[in-house]
Amino acid sequence: MKDVTQIDPVSLRTLATAVRLGTFEATARELHVTPSAVSQRIKALETHVGRVLVHRVKPLEATEAGHVLVRLAAQTELLEREAVAELLEGEDPGEDDPFAAVPIAVNADALYTWLVDALVEVQSAHRVTFEIVREDQSRTTERLRRGDVMAAVTSDPRPVPGCRVVRLGSMRYRAVATPAWVAAHLPDGASAAALGRVPLIAFDRNDTQQHDFLRKVTRRHLTPPVTWIPSVGEFDNAVRRGMGWGMIPEVQVRADLDAGRLVEIVPGRHTDVPLFWQHWRLESPLMADLTSAITGAARGWLS
């Protein structure tokens, strides 16, 4: 078996940068080398590990083996930064001291409600920045598996290799609309025939919540007209202004339901989406504090 130990850290960083930026030219500019040097470093790394690491298309695409090493590069960088921070503990950080960068994949509703509270808490204790990658909760683990992110809020309880999983709770969604919309579009109730004709609102084409709800309550595959609104705030606004019905977290509509400003299109029926926090299995104080903050912030919003 080929010995793939002693991976060159410069080549590893070059690979990760190339995959992130998508071209040798952009990588060369960031690393202050020539595109030829970038290509040679990656070729040397491929020779060392005995695997093709990138598909040389535009933008560059990491192979399965390449994603493994991109993940290693990010893990190595985070641990190096934390080791330096520990060595300098007690000293005031200088303006030029680097920040750790932590990419996170998260669904839109968690981002809109409780996630930022957790990030603010972590930034008060660590010199860190975040890159938030918005993705449907059913697809965030793929970002984690590819090495695009270090952690993810996901509906998938199955751990990605090399990751830990923490259950956060469940987000309950209600199918709601305005009373006037229901009176106009569902005067005889939410039959399967009626629900197949009336307009609904969905976040984007990865959002299957509304269609899943329809299958749940009608046991049929319906194809009603859809308006796509990829903004949580404007999605809610569209429902409240009578553009159609949509699934909104219960915590955001409870007061409106109690006051009669919104009503359930199928009273008593709801959808619970379990959420989990998956993160790289690193003995990292930053990751430990981030996990603690995420679980604490989620607790107030999830059942």
Three-state DSSP class for 25? helix
For residue 29, is it within any domain? yes
Whether 92 shows a pLDDT value over 80: the answer reads no
Domain hosting residue 27, numbered range: 1-92
Residue 115 located in a structural domain: no
Residue after which a domain boundary falls, among 92, 123, 148 = 92
What is the per-residue pLDDT for 70? Answer: 87
Domain end marker among 61, 92, 123: 92
Identify which has the larger pLDDT, 213 or 101. 213
Structural domains counted in the chain: 2
Specify the 3-state DSSP secondary structure of 270.
strand
**What is the pLDDT, as a whole number, of residue 81?**
73
Q: Is the pLDDT of residue 207 over 60?
A: yes
Please list, residue by residue across 148-184, b when 16 or more beta carbons sit within 10 angstroms of its beta carbon and e when fewer do: bbbbbbbbbeeebebbeeeebbebbbbbbbbeebbee
Here the tokens at position 142 are: 């793929």
Helix (H, G, I), strand (E, B) or coil at 27: helix
Looking at every residue in the chain, the average pLDDT score rounds to 91
pLDDT score of 95: 62
Q: What is the pLDDT of residue 88?
A: 62
82 falls within a domain: yes
pLDDT tens digits, 28-69: 999 999 999 999 999 999 999 989 999 999 899 889 888 889
For the ranges 22-31, 86-95, 235-244, the lowest mean pLDDT is seen at: 86-95
- Residue 191's domain is classified under what CATH number? 3.40.190.10
Quote the pLDDT of residue 1. Answer: 44
Q: Among 92, 120, 155, give the residue marking a domain's end.
A: 92
Q: How far apart are CA 52 and CA 142, in angstroms?
A: 21
Q: Say what the pLDDT of residue 67 is.
A: 86
CATH number assigned to the domain comprising residue 29: 1.10.10.10
Higher pLDDT, 82 or 54: 54
Pairing mode, strands 128-134 and 100-106: parallel
Whether 156 is in a domain gets the answer no
Asked if residues 247 and 217 have their Cβ atoms less than 8 Å apart, the reply is no
**Residue 166 forms part of a structural domain:** no
pLDDT in tens, 95-138: 666 788 899 999 999 999 999 999 999 999 988 999 999 999 99
Taking the C-alpha atoms of 49, 52, 56 and 58 in order, what is their torsion angle to the nearest 10 degrees? -90
Q: What is the pLDDT of residue 96?
A: 62
Q: Looking at the predicted structure, is the pLDDT value of residue 265 above 60?
A: yes
pLDDT reported for residue 20? 87
Per-residue model confidence (pLDDT) at position 93? 58
Tell me: the pLDDT tens digits for 152-184?
999 999 999 889 999 999 999 999 999 999 999
56, 148, 152, 280 from 294: Cα distances, Å: 38, 19, 11, 14
User: Looking at the domain assignment, is residue 200 inside a domain?
Assistant: yes
Least confident of 75-84, 85-94, 196-205, 221-230: 85-94
* Residue 130 placed within a domain: no
- Residue 83 resides in a domain: yes
